Amino acid sequence: MAKVQFFDTTLRDGEQTPGVNFNTQEKLEIAKQLERYGIDVIEAGFARTSPGDFEAVKTIGETLKVSRVGSLARLVKEDIDAAYDALKNAHNPQIHVFIATSPIHRDYKLEMTKEEILASIQEYVTYARSLFEHVQFSAEDATRTEWDFLAEVSELAIQCGASVINIPDTVGFTNPTEYGNLFKYLKEHVPSFDQAVFSSHCHDDLGMATANAMASIENGALRVEGCINGLGERGGNTALEEVAVTLEVRKDYYGLDTNIHLKETKKTSDLVSRISGMPIPRNEAIVGANAFAHESGIHQDGVLKNPATYEVFPPELIGVKENALPLGKLSGRAAFIDHLQNLGYNTDEREEVNKAFENFKILADKKAEITTGDLHALMTGKAIEESSRYELIKIRTANQEENIHEASVTILDRKSGEEKEGIGQSVGTVEAIYNTIDQIIGKQYTLEEYRIDAITQGSDSQAQVHVMIQTPEGEQFNGTGIDFDVLTASAKAYLQAIQ
């Protein structure tokens, strides 16, 4: 059975979501999980754009051994060189070069003629191929490009050494019939079509990104690009988990295989949601909290008799089932490690496991039953906290008089090793904490979003707070904090956003 390759760009296109900014540690956490999920190619960033992206691409490329790791680059020598410098010691590198090809981009953005675009492909795809064995070429805004020109561009890129040709629907403009026909057209009009893998890359501006990706697969695309949870700017990108589950559930129709480990779906989705600070709507396909919830009596009756009456796949397929034997205060190290391994965590690093076990014991002292959700939060929450520049040491709040709350906060600046403290007031407790942190750091941030979720069901759940802040320069950052105490979780989220 032929296989569809999965190309994940959560760390690049997904990071273009307003307010989503991953640091290297966060990107690495996500990349490791994407590898466990079975993603074939991970786009770790755009090496030339910032030292942070360069470092993330380099670190991920040199850490992952199974998934291929890539960097985006324009058809510009300096971009290609930066991608090469970042990836030269990677285990399994690729470069992804692109140039816009549509009339509107040619005339208004690039101010280049068709001939100049072709010359640029000739020069820089060839150059990229001299440095990388695996070169992917994208014709940005392909779906608004003249089809004959797109065929010419694709053929040239293959002749210059590209082994993957990506056909992006950059502005989410196309529909399934048209996009499917475009792939069919390219198959018929690109002489070397079979020498390359053709790939789809869809945006969701009109809500058709997944449907478009499926139409491309039906018409010859052997690679699909997208982001976990459909992350991305504007309407977002194709949600890869939707494509993966559809290919499995409708294998009878598509007849295609993948390398995806579907049991890792929910965990991957939760991790990306937590680190990006982008919540998953309850009614989201596949990974939403309501995906297996049945409200109407007729449906409930059907599901009790046979779940397949109203569920097209079982929750176990995407790893939703909770552990049969929950962990608790009396559970030993072996049971803890066993649960971590079942959830796909690597337990080879003795020191890391010891630290995680200590944190588990602290948690188990406060909560009778530790669920899968708690374990994921424990494992990823700690890693995120430890990657932030500021660590929360102590926090105290008091109600001074009616409507005046005072907060005293102590933080550690991991960069300078200095402990700093401050006291501030406000009409609300959370605002008092945030004012105090601003005062300690010497910068005033604007709180754009603040949200609390419970990690698990029940009143003994830990709180997960997401914030989005804006710097005085207008940059937006997300942060997530987890704790039993809502105020502590609020402070942790703010400190993580500040980084």
Binding residues vs ligand KIV (CB under 6 A): 13, 72, 98, 138, 140, 166, 168, 170, 201, 203
Token readout for 415 is 């960069």
* Smallest distance from ligand KIV to CB 11, Å: 12
Distance, CA of 403 to CA of 377 (rounded, Å): 34
Distance, CA of 97 to CA of 103 (rounded, Å): 19
* Smallest distance from ligand KIV to CB 116, Å: 19
Decide: is 15 part of the binding site for Zn ion (CB under 5 A).
Answer: no
First to last CA, the chain: 46
Per CB under 5 A, the list member of 8, 13, 140, 438 interacting with Zn ion is 13
* Smallest distance from ligand KIV to CB 98, Å: 4
Neighbours of 244 (CB within 10 A): 27
Cβ closer to ligand KIV: 73 or 247?
73
With CB cut-offs between 5 and 8 Å by kind, which of ligand KIV, Zn ion, none does residue 102 bind? none
* Smallest distance from Zn ion to CB 393, Å: 41
Cβ closer to Zn ion: 9 or 480?
9
Q: Which stretch binds Zn ion (CB under 5 A): 13-21, 30-38, 60-68, 149-157?
A: 13-21
CB of 385 closer than 8 Å to CB of 491: no
Cβ closer to Zn ion: 13 or 406?
13
Token readout for 258 is 């993948």
With CB cut-offs between 5 and 8 Å by kind, which of ligand KIV, Zn ion, none does residue 212 bind? none
Q: Which stretch binds Zn ion (CB under 5 A): 6-14, 96-104, 413-421, 438-446?
A: 6-14
* Smallest distance from ligand KIV to CB 468, Å: 23
Cβ closer to ligand KIV: 204 or 264?
204
Helices within 277-370 (DSSP H only): 297-305, 333-342, 350-366
Cβ closer to ligand KIV: 276 or 380?
276
Distance, CA of 464 to CA of 484 (rounded, Å): 9
Contact flags string 70-109 toward Zn ion, x per CB under 5 A: ----------------------------------------
* Smallest distance from Zn ion to CB 266, Å: 25
Cβ closer to ligand KIV: 67 or 166?
166
Question: DSSP assignment, residue 445?
Answer: -
Cβ closer to Zn ion: 13 or 152?
13
* Smallest distance from ligand KIV to CB 199, Å: 9
Cβ closer to ligand KIV: 12 or 466?
12
Decide: is 169 part of the binding site for Zn ion (CB under 5 A).
Answer: no
* Smallest distance from ligand KIV to CB 139, Å: 8
Distance, CA of 160 to CA of 92 (rounded, Å): 21
Binding site for Zn ion (CB under 5 A): 13
